Chain A
Amino acid sequence: MHPVLKLVAQRIALSTLLLLAASVLIFVGTTILPGDVAQQILGQSATPESLANLRAELGLNDPAVTRYLAWLGAALQGDLGTALTNGRDIAESLGQRLGNTMFLAFWAAVISVPLAIFLGLLAVRFRDRWPDKLISGVTLASISIPEFLIGYVLMYFFAVKLGWAPSVAMINDSMSVWQKLNAIALPVGVLTLVVLAHMMRMTRAAILNVMQSAYIETAELKGLSTFSVIRRHAFPNAVAPIVNVVMLNLAYLVVGVVVIEVVFVYPGMGQYLVDHVAKRDVPVVQACGLVFAAVYIGLNMIADIVSILANPRLRHPK
């Protein structure tokens, strides 16, 4: 087998194993939470008999291992069960929410990743001069301000004062793509500001690191322009750390944007998860946990594979 294929297969196998381990953790974590599901459903009106009845009905009296295997088996077949709180099919509601989250994350990534890399390159080109300082200053400021505050500020100016974009980023199936894009303009703006600095700084640092190498000096000496040096010689060698940071930020865009969802009333997965955690709706929490873990592990796996492919040294481990 080609060594690269073998490496990729290894990575995928490892990720699957990791996901399985995460599923165990999720299951154990939600099981040892104080106050069980039956108690949560009944709330203040719980009586010992109704608790016992409900526990039996929900199968909470079975041993944990049996419940885990049953859950995992069903989840692998795409059956995530029904929500305890409103009796809806989890796979269906989750699928819709996940789709929305991906939609938002996709557009935020489409704007922020090229922008961050471009700004990073620009900062390297004008290292220690005013464009570099301006880019660093602005992006660092935007990452330091809490995201909900950026959200409110954008909302005040662009929704309330200027009326360019709606403050409520609600999307549904009856909207055209253009309407949807208009609806998510503000949250995409905030997310871009939040993830920009991280990726841009890493691009800058990685490329500067490479720029100190002898072969860059050679390239400069043979008369290449600074941008060509960066593009042809520095960037390919700096790609691994950049891809890693980009993937971490993409993962954040998928799993960590609950605050933005609340502020802009966006029907994504974060709000869905938080609501169900508050109601101790364990099947939904488990399903969300599994999806988040899969996204995280998946994106990191892609980052690993891309770095390996981009860097010959990693392709031939000693």
Chain B
Amino acid sequence: MNDQINHLAKRVTLGKMTRREFMGRAAALGVATATASSIFAEAARAQAPKAGGVYKMGVQGGESTNTQDPASWASDVPIAAGRAWGEPLVEVGPDGTLGGLVAESWEGSSDARTWRFKVRNGIEFSNGKTVTAEDVMRTIARHTNEDSKSGALGIVKGIEEMRVDGDVFELKLGVGNADMPYLMADYHLMIQPDGGFDAPAAAIGTGAYSLVSDEPGVRMALTRNPNYWGGDQSEVAHYDEVEVITLNDATARTAALQSGQVDSINRVEPKIAQLLDRAPTLSVRNVSGRGHYVFIMHIDTAPFDNLDLRLALKYAINRQEMVDKILRGYGGVGNDMPINAAYPLFDNTIPQRSYDPALAAEHYKKSGHDGSPIILRVADGAFPGAVDAAALFQQSAQAAGIPLEIKREPNDGYWSEVWNKQPFCASYWGGRPVQDQMYSTAYLSTADWNDTRWKRAEFDELLMSARAELDEAKRKETYSKMGRMLRDEGGLILPMFNDFIDAVSNDVMGWEGDPNGPHMNWYSFKKTWKA
């Protein structure tokens, strides 16, 4: 009984059980109400943040080629460490609302073209220098510069003019964009002294921690910045030290968590997630995000230029089966549009497309396709389980009389030779914080990464009108229209949205899911503490 009551208390501490549930279960175990009540109080007290300790993250996605230059970040290890030492102007919260970091407040003009960000008063970089609006402008300027090869170039290239007005940084866009503040939350846009022009990889920022040891591909260690503007250790960023440890091998990652060498890991494989969750000392935490796995057709290339053939293939894929078998339930079904409920302004009234072999066969017949096999190119690296997913697709299409031929491609060179080059292949998208950015990245006529060759003037116009629209109801309506267009006519077959699956030691308190990214959008170091 003692074990059971302890287990229940643990669940209370983890925030998985309410007082009412706890008291009920305790009564069932024969524990006196007064005793149960004090156990509950103690367990709930453990929920209050505690300062101190070392927090170690075991993270997949680090190479010995990593640098601390935010412009170069593309994998999770540098992003995780960067979140600890640096801060952009704003952050997107778990509920999709914006919060200020380096910027205290911000406002847009009525046409959404001019945006003013007021820099937080008197905050300092970890080298003791006070942050000015000039630093902010230089940072954005560095990412706007073609030579910086910044991963955020696509975000900031719409900026036409920038200026500093006292403690206000003002930017002017060529075309109005109501989502501009959201884009400023991008992890590349860490505010650096003088924009990081002289020392881009110096790891000097306004973050809660400062970098003390940097071994790329192995480990990055940070200690608490005592001058952090956000508050002292009892309020925020409770740990004394944070370590980001590169653990690229999946088995090594789970073993490290199980043996207590790290406190949390990312990218738990769906096939072991359930087994891992049974371990008594840790919990698997999954959150549905915006990332998705796709099969993409070039709609300007035969036979995919035929709408009926595209629809036939869309009806011939069994989405639920893929979520069950490829993601093991850690995900949600897609609807052939890159947007799901994790996005702000999502319209949940758009009907869900499901597997319908009869309808698929009908469309296939109408398309007049000659019956030759349709070649689907796929590699293991396209997304985890891509080859298996293609095989499932092949079988469900077979049932509708559509012949698919799977052509396996090597992982090496898949992104340069197959994706965005071959007319029909498997791929994945990590998702973007707002609909506008997702559509502009891959569905605008002029987008470099328009991997379905979706080029519709009408769609582009809708996108531009939504971008500058400040009335949320109208924007939502426009986005809904765009989503429907893409769903019914586009070259995108989107069977599933994948969850972010983390596993966390039960010693770590205060963990909550954040659809913006794994590991609480890499803010776990700041928002959790150890019991």
| B480 on interface, CB distance cutoff 8 Å | no
| A233 on interface, CB distance cutoff 8 Å | no
| A45 on interface, CB distance cutoff 8 Å | yes
- Nearest chain A CB to B417's CB is how many angstroms away? 10
Which DSSP category, helix, strand, loop or mixed, fits chain A's interface?
A: helix
Instruction: Closest A residue to B68 by CB, please name it.
Output: A86
Instruction: Closest A residue to B256 by CB, please name it.
Output: A168
| A301 on interface, CB distance cutoff 8 Å | no
Q: Give chain A residues whose Cβ lies under 8 Å from the Cβ of B63.
A: 275, 278-279
| A58 on interface, CB distance cutoff 8 Å | no
CB <8 Å contact, B65 and A170: no
Produce 1/0 per residue, B239-253, CB < 8 A to A: 000000111110110
Q: Give chain B residues whose Cβ lies under 8 Å from the Cβ of A263.
A: 249, 251-252
Query: Which of B66, B67, B213, B259 is the most central at the interface, judged by chain A CB atoms within 10 Å of its CB?
Result: B259
CB <8 Å contact, A156 and B255: yes
A172 to B215, CA, bound (A): 9
A42 to B149, CA, bound (A): 7
| A163 on interface, CB distance cutoff 8 Å | yes
Produce 1/0 per residue, A266-310, CB < 8 A to B: 010001100110110100000000000000000000000000000
Q: Give chain B residues whose Cβ lies under 8 Å from the Cβ of A170.
A: 218-219, 245
A53 to B251, CA, bound (A): 43
| A56 on interface, CB distance cutoff 8 Å | no
| B262 on interface, CB distance cutoff 8 Å | yes
A264 to B249, CA, bound (A): 9
Extra contacts besides A41-B149, A278-B65 (8): CB < 8 Å = A44-B416, A45-B149, A152-B251, A155-B251, A163-B259, A168-B252, A264-B252, A271-B64
| A83 on interface, CB distance cutoff 8 Å | yes
Residue numbers of B with Cβ under 8 A of A are: 58, 63-67, 72, 146-147, 149, 153, 201, 213, 215-219, 245-249, 251-252, 255-256, 258-262, 415-416, 448-449
CB <8 Å contact, A159 and B245: no
Instruction: Closest A residue to B261 by CB, please name it.
Output: A168
| A85 on interface, CB distance cutoff 8 Å | yes
Instruction: Closest A residue to B219 by CB, please name it.
Output: A170
| A160 on interface, CB distance cutoff 8 Å | yes
Instruction: Closest A residue to B63 by CB, please name it.
Output: A275
CB <8 Å contact, B261 and A172: no
CB <8 Å contact, A44 and B217: no
- Nearest chain B CB to A150's CB is how many angstroms away? 12
Q: Give chain A residues whose Cβ lies under 8 Å from the Cβ of B153.
A: 45
A222 to B147, CA, bound (A): 84
Instruction: Closest A residue to B78 by CB, please name it.
Output: A86
CB <8 Å contact, A167 and B65: no
Q: Give chain B residues whose Cβ lies under 8 Å from the Cβ of A41.
A: 149
A83 to B201, CA, bound (A): 14
- Nearest chain A CB to B523's CB is how many angstroms away? 24
Interface size, chain A (Cβ < 8 Å):
37
CB <8 Å contact, A160 and B201: no
Query: Which of B147, B217, B448 is the most central at the interface, judged by chain A CB atoms within 10 Å of its CB?
Result: B217
- Nearest chain A CB to B242's CB is how many angstroms away? 15
The 6 closest A-B pairs by CB, nearest first: A85-B65, A86-B67, A275-B63, A167-B255, A267-B218, A275-B64
| A50 on interface, CB distance cutoff 8 Å | yes
CB <8 Å contact, B251 and A272: no
CB interface residues, A 143-193, toward B, < 8 Å:
152, 155-156, 159-160, 163, 166-168, 170, 172
A85 to B67, CA, bound (A): 8
Query: Which of B147, B252, B416 is the most central at the interface, judged by chain A CB atoms within 10 Å of its CB?
Result: B252
Query: What are some 27 contacts across the A-B interface (CB < 8 A)?
Result: A42-B149, A44-B448, A50-B146, A86-B201, A86-B216, A88-B216, A97-B64, A155-B251, A155-B255, A160-B259, A163-B259, A168-B247, A168-B252, A168-B256, A170-B245, A262-B249, A262-B252, A263-B249, A263-B251, A264-B252, A265-B245, A265-B246, A267-B218, A267-B219, A275-B64, A276-B64, A279-B65
A170 to B213, CA, bound (A): 14
- Nearest chain B CB to A121's CB is how many angstroms away? 37
Q: Give chain B residues whose Cβ lies under 8 Å from the Cβ of A279.
A: 63, 65
Q: Give chain B residues whose Cβ lies under 8 Å from the Cβ of A48.
A: none
- Nearest chain B CB to A186's CB is how many angstroms away? 10
Q: Give chain B residues whose Cβ lies under 8 Å from the Cβ of A88.
A: 216
- Nearest chain B CB to A225's CB is how many angstroms away? 47
Q: Give chain A residues whose Cβ lies under 8 Å from the Cβ of B449.
A: 44
CB <8 Å contact, B259 and A159: yes
Contact of A159 among B66, B147, B255, B415 (CB under 8 A): B255
A265 to B261, CA, bound (A): 12
CB <8 Å contact, A87 and B67: yes
Q: Give chain B residues whose Cβ lies under 8 Å from the Cβ of A272.
A: 64, 217
- Nearest chain B CB to A34's CB is how many angstroms away? 9
CB interface residues, A 62-95, toward B, < 8 Å:
83, 85-88, 93
Instruction: Closest B residue to A268 by CB, please name it.
Output: B218
Given A86-B201, A86-B216, A275-B217, does the pair A168, B149 have CB atoms closer than 8 Å?
no
Q: Give chain A residues whose Cβ lies under 8 Å from the Cβ of B215.
A: 172, 267
Contact of B261 among A50, A87, A167, A271 (CB under 8 A): A167
CB <8 Å contact, A160 and B255: yes
- Nearest chain A CB to B260's CB is how many angstroms away? 8
A152 to B146, CA, bound (A): 45
A72 to B66, CA, bound (A): 26
Q: Give chain A residues whose Cβ lies under 8 Å from the Cβ of B247.
A: 168, 265
Q: Give chain B residues whose Cβ lies under 8 Å from the Cβ of A85.
A: 65, 67
Given A152-B251, A267-B218, A272-B217, does the pair A168, B65 have CB atoms closer than 8 Å?
no
A276 to B219, CA, bound (A): 17
Q: Give chain B residues whose Cβ lies under 8 Å from the Cβ of A276.
A: 64-65
Produce 1/0 per residue, A35-59, CB < 8 A to B: 1000001101100001001000000
Q: Give chain B residues whose Cβ lies under 8 Å from the Cβ of A155.
A: 251-252, 255
- Nearest chain A CB to B507's CB is how many angstroms away? 16
Q: Give chain B residues whose Cβ lies under 8 Å from the Cβ of A87.
A: 67, 201
CB <8 Å contact, A167 and B201: no
A175 to B252, CA, bound (A): 21
Instruction: Closest B residue to A152 by CB, please name it.
Output: B251
- Nearest chain A CB to B35's CB is how many angstroms away? 34
CB <8 Å contact, B65 and A281: yes
A82 to B378, CA, bound (A): 36
A151 to B172, CA, bound (A): 57
- Nearest chain B CB to A113's CB is how many angstroms away? 28
Q: Give chain A residues whose Cβ lies under 8 Å from the Cβ of B258.
A: 160
Given A263-B251, A276-B64, A279-B63, does the pair A168, B201 have CB atoms closer than 8 Å?
no
Contact of B256 among A86, A163, A167, A281 (CB under 8 A): A167
Q: Give chain B residues whose Cβ lies under 8 Å from the Cβ of A262.
A: 248-249, 252
- Nearest chain B CB to A175's CB is how many angstroms away? 12
CB <8 Å contact, B252 and A275: no
Instruction: Closest A residue to B260 by CB, please name it.
Output: A163
Produce 1/0 per residue, A245-276, CB < 8 A to B: 00000000000000000111101000110011
Q: Give chain A residues whose Cβ lies under 8 Å from the Cβ of B149.
A: 41-42, 45, 50
Q: Give chain B residues whose Cβ lies under 8 Å from the Cβ of A267.
A: 215, 217-219
A53 to B259, CA, bound (A): 50
Q: Give chain A residues whose Cβ lies under 8 Å from the Cβ of B260.
A: 163
CB <8 Å contact, B261 and A166: yes
